[in-house]
Every structure is written in structure tokens, then in C-alpha cells.
Amino acid sequence: MHDIRFIREDPAAFDAGLKKRNLAPLSAELLEIDKRRRAAISESEAAQAKRKALSRQIGMAKAKGEPAETLMAEVAALEETLKKGEAEATRLDEELTHRLEVLPNLPFDDVPDGADETGNVEIRRVGSQRNFSFQPKDHVALGEATGEMDFAAAAKISGARFVFLKKHLARLERAIAQFMLDLHTSEEGGYTEINPPFLVRDNAAYGVGQLPKFAEDMFHTDNGFWLIPTAEVPLTNLVNDTIVDEKDLPLRFTAWTPCFRSEAGAAGKDTRGMIRQHQFPKVELVSITTPEQSDAEHQRMTGRAEEVLKRLGLPFRTIVLCGGDMGPASRKTFDIEVWLPGQNAYREISSCSNCGEYQARRMGARYRPKQGPKGKGGGTRFVHTLNGSGLAVGRTLIAILENYQNEDGSVTIPEALRPYMGGLTALPAPVGAAAGKRK
């Protein structure tokens, strides 16, 4: 949500931010609505003040036994004027709110210009792509060969974009999530583990910017709940309508949850395999901090997500998204893309975003500074909220299968995960793979 006071004070900066989003300038339209809204409020307040004054005169006239009919008629006329003025002010307020709540956040000045992913800027690469002595397979071929990745059975039960993971792959997915949680909740990681609700009401989805604009991308129950598209929704809403003390910031939360997305805008995209599903597990990172610390917290969060890939020995690159490719709530986003040999491409595995006060303003999430201007206490400010994947568990599983595959179809387990796999060092090759190779 945007602050209309900021638009009044610096309409040029507001329009410049929209331009980074490849949107037309809107400050003039919004300020015209705001002008009429404030005029309607002023007229209503003037009518209220006049009504009070006339009411006092009526009381004084009656006390003196003087006629008050004319004054009473004037008050009755003001009642009608007041009702109309209040209705107009309410209508204009709702119109302004609706216009503001669907607009995306304004990018920071250092966000690159660009209309789409072609405007994104790579800032670093870590790790080396493996040179295979054989043609590497994608995760679908590897998983279906052992029967432990079953899309056909899932399609019979739930339809497209679902999968059954079985035996070793089911355990590997759980191991990956546990490894991530242990890393993030360590003293170095500093995140508090949360087990949140997976169903939320409208106000929670609205608070992080999912509603009203992205309702079609979420699943809705027939009794008023939304299935979470990411744990960002419940975790960020922990500070909804709350004032926290600055000494308690930053707050850092992590959670491993299923996520549910309708993928309404992804028809025809990534239809093969586990890349884009309706239900998928993810370890989420959320930070609540002060405006002064949000940039450093953003860098730190991105670093913690990268650390997962470093410890798993998976090559990746980190990019900063351009204004035209960022999510609507973000002011700046770093995407981390892992190398997938089966696709011969880098694919997103984490998106870490600094949302500034955009979500906090929608949620009413504030903090009380240690001291106000010039050392004086009092007053509150909106917190800054940040979120990121730490990481997408399913895509991490895909990356491990494809990067650690062996020619016989077995998959070496990264050392960091072996304690979570009961000491297992490799996922077995398909039955008969070795014999088939000898023939």
C-alpha cells in the first residue's frame, strides 16, 4: 500500500518509481481523487461544526422561551447535506484505497531498468558446472526409472502438476528440509523455527499483498480460507496490527511448509516434471526490521539462502531483478538460480525480496524506536518486511538428482545430507541398470 502523503509531497518521485515498473504516471489522477476526497471531508466537517453551533443556539433559545423553528429547520437541512457529504467522502476514500492497493511497490533507485527477465543483472556465480562423461538425464528420467517419482499415479488422483515421491526420494525431500531448517536455526543462521497454519483468512492474504490482485493464483476453500502460496503469508502476519520495540528487532522466522499455487498464469510453462507444481514444499525465511537495517538484512538473507547451495555443492548464480520482473510487493529482489544439467540452464531456486514498508502499511505493523528525533521518545514507525526462499525444497531435490547423477542412474548424496539419510551415500540405480549396461 502506498502513502498518499508521499505522493502529495513528491509526485515526480512516485511517477519515476512507476516508470521503473513500466507503468504510466498516475500521480495526477490519484491526487485529483485525493483533492476531491479532502474537499468532501472538509465540507462535512464544516457542516458538523455549523450543526453543533446551531444546536447550541436552539438550546439557548428554548431556555429563554424564544421561538427556535427557523434554527431547527436549518439544522434539518444541514443533516441532509451532512449525509451526502459523508457518503461522498466515503466513496472517494474507497476509490482512492482501491487504486492504491493494487499498485506495485516502488523499486529502489539502484534496481536496474528493464521490461522483463532480459533486464536482470547477474552479480555473481558460485561453483563449477560438472563435466559429465555421459549425457546427463533430467530429474524426471532419473526419478521415473526407479519408480520413486510417480506423476501418473498423482494425475489419476489429483490431476496435472502433482507427484508422488516414494521411498528414497521421499526421505531425501524430508532430509533436505531438515538440513535447511537446522542451518537456518543455528546460532549462525539466527532464525526462529515456526510451524504456522497453512490456511489463512482474507486479512492475512491482503496484508502481504496477495489480495485483491492475485486471488486467481491461490486456492480458496468454500468456508472462507486461502491455502498459503508461501509461508511468507502467515510468518509476515505475525506482526499484523502489532507494535514491537526496536530492541526486539530484527525478528527472523523460518518455516518448512507445503505451498499451494493455482499457476493460473503458467499455462504451458514447465509442464514436465516437478519444476512448477500446484503443491510443493519450501523452507521460507522472513525478517522484520527497521528501515535503516533493511538493506543489510536483505544482503544477509540472500547470503543465508546461498549458503545452503554452497554446503550442498550445487553451482548457482545470483541476479538482481529489473523493475519489470520483480514481484509487486518488492522494492528490490535477488534471485538465486541453481544449475540444472538436465535442462542445461540455471533455474530459480530462491527469490529474496525487500518489501520496505509496503506490507507493513497494509498490516498496520509498526515499531517503537528507542528514541525519537533529537533524542526524544514517542511515536511509532512502520517496520520493513523481507522474505525469501531458503530454499524451494523440490527444486533442491531436482538439482541434487541432476548434478549428482551417475551413469548407471544412481545418485550420489551430498555429504551434508548423509547424516539425515541414515549414512546412505547414494540413491540406488534402477534395478537391472548395471546388467543392462554390461550387455
Catalytic residues: 261, 276, 348, 351, 395
DSSP 3-state assignment of 421? helix
- Alpha carbon distance 417, 424 (integer Å): 9
Distance of CA 25 to the CA centre of its chain: 25
- Alpha carbon distance 252, 352 (integer Å): 14
- Alpha carbon distance 135, 137 (integer Å): 7
Contact by Cβ (8 Å): 14, 27: yes
- Alpha carbon distance 197, 234 (integer Å): 7
- Alpha carbon distance 273, 93 (integer Å): 47
- Alpha carbon distance 150, 143 (integer Å): 8
- Alpha carbon distance 111, 121 (integer Å): 9
Sign of the C-alpha dihedral computed for residues 143, 149, 152 and 158 taken in this order: negative
